[in-house]
Chain A
Amino acid sequence: GQNIDQPTEMTATEGAIVQINCTYQTSGFNGLFWYQQHAGEAPTFLSYNVLDGLEEKGRFSSFLSRSKGYSYLLLKELQMKDSASYLCAVRDGDYKLSFGAGTTVTVRA
C-alpha cells in the first residue's frame, strides 16, 4: 500500500501562520491534493500540485517536491474558521487517491 505521513495535531494563534507537512511513499505519482474537513462534514478540495513548486491560492499555499516525496500546506492569517482537519492525499500510478490520517489544526484567539 501507500505510506503518507502528516502530524496528528497542530495549534496556532489567530492571525499567525501554520505549515502542515506531508511526506509520502507511493507506487507511482500523479499529483498531490490537500483537503479541508470540518468536524462532522465532508472533505472539501483546497489545492492540487503535480509539478514541483509553490501553488498559491489566497491565504492558502501548497508546495511540492517530488524528488523528496514531500509537500506542505501553508495557512496564512489564520482565522477561527480555519480550525479543521487537513488531509494530504496522493494519486498513485493507478490514478487512485490515498489519504493521510489528517492533521487537526486548532486556532486559538
Chain B
Amino acid sequence: IAGITQAPTSQILAAGRRMTLRCTQDMRHNAMYWYRQDLGLGLRLIHYSNTAGTTGKGEVPDGYSVSRANTDDFPLTLASAVPSQTSVYFCASSERALGGQFFGPGTRLTVL
C-alpha cells in the first residue's frame, strides 16, 4: 500500500441498505477526513478525526457515522442509505490538523 486507498471504487446500492466505505492510509498520518463531492457544490466535509480514538462532525454529518480505532483506518458508514447520498466520496489524511491534506482515489456511490 502506498498513500491512501479506498474501497470499493464504485458501488450501486438500494435505498435503505447499510454500507461501509473503507479508507486506509500507510503514512502514519494523525488526521483523517471524509468528504463528499457533488457537481456545483465542491467538496464538503462529512466527518473528521484529528487522532486515533477521536472523531468530529463536519459540515454535512447527518446520515453518516465514522470510527477511528487505529491510526491507519477510518471507515465511513451509511446506516440506511438514501438517494441524496449519491455522490463521490473522498477520504483524506494529513500528518496533523495543520498539515496539507492528501486524498484517496475516491468511491463513486449511487443510491437507487
Q: How far, in whole Å, are A42 and B25 apart by their CA atoms in the complex?
A: 15
Across the interface, do B90 and A43 meet the contact criterion of CB distance under 8 Å?
Answer: yes
From the candidates A31, A44, A101, name the one contacting B103 in the complex (CB within 8 A).
A44
Given the interface pairs A42-B105, A102-B42, the reply to whether A48 lies near B58 with Cβ below 8 Å is no
* Shortest Cβ gap from A106 to chain B (Å): 17
Of B44, B45, B100, B106, most A-chain CB atoms within 10 Å: B100
Stretch of A51-59, A62-70, A91-99 lying at the B interface: A91-99
Cβ–Cβ contact A43 & B97, under 8 A: no
Size bin of chain A's contact surface: 20 to 34
Given A1-B59, A98-B59: A43 and B41 within 8 A (CB)?
no
Question: Which B26-54 residues sit within 8 Å CB-CB of chain A?
Answer: 33, 35, 40-45, 48
B40 touches A101 (CB 8 A): yes
User: How far does the Cβ of A33 sit from chain B's closest Cβ, in whole Å?
Assistant: 7
Question: How many contacting A-B pairs (Cβ < 8 A)?
Answer: 43
Chain B interface size band reads: 20 to 34
A87 at the interface (CB under 8 A from B): yes
Is B42 in contact with A101, judged by CB distance below 8 angstroms? Answer: yes
Give the distance in Å from the alpha carbon of A44 to the alpha carbon of B103 in the complex. 7
> In the complex, A46→B55 CA distance in Å?
27
Contact in complex: B42, A96 (CB < 8 Å): no
| Closest residue on chain A to residue B48 by CB atoms | A96
Asked whether B98 is an interface residue with its Cβ less than 8 Å from the other chain, the reply is yes
Instruction: Say how far B39's CB is from chain A's closest CB, in angstroms.
Output: 9
A97 & B45 in contact (Cβ 8 Å cutoff) = yes
**CB atoms of B106 and A42 under 8 A apart:** yes
A interface vs B, CB < 8 Å? 1, 30-31, 33, 41-45, 48, 87, 89, 91, 95-102
Q: Please report B residues at the A interface, Cβ cutoff 8 Å.
A: 33, 35, 40-45, 48, 58-59, 90, 97-98, 100-106
- Given A33-B100, A96-B48, A97-B45, 13 new contacts (CB under 8 A): A1-B59, A41-B106, A42-B105, A45-B100, A48-B100, A87-B42, A96-B45, A97-B33, A98-B45, A98-B59, A99-B35, A100-B42, A101-B41
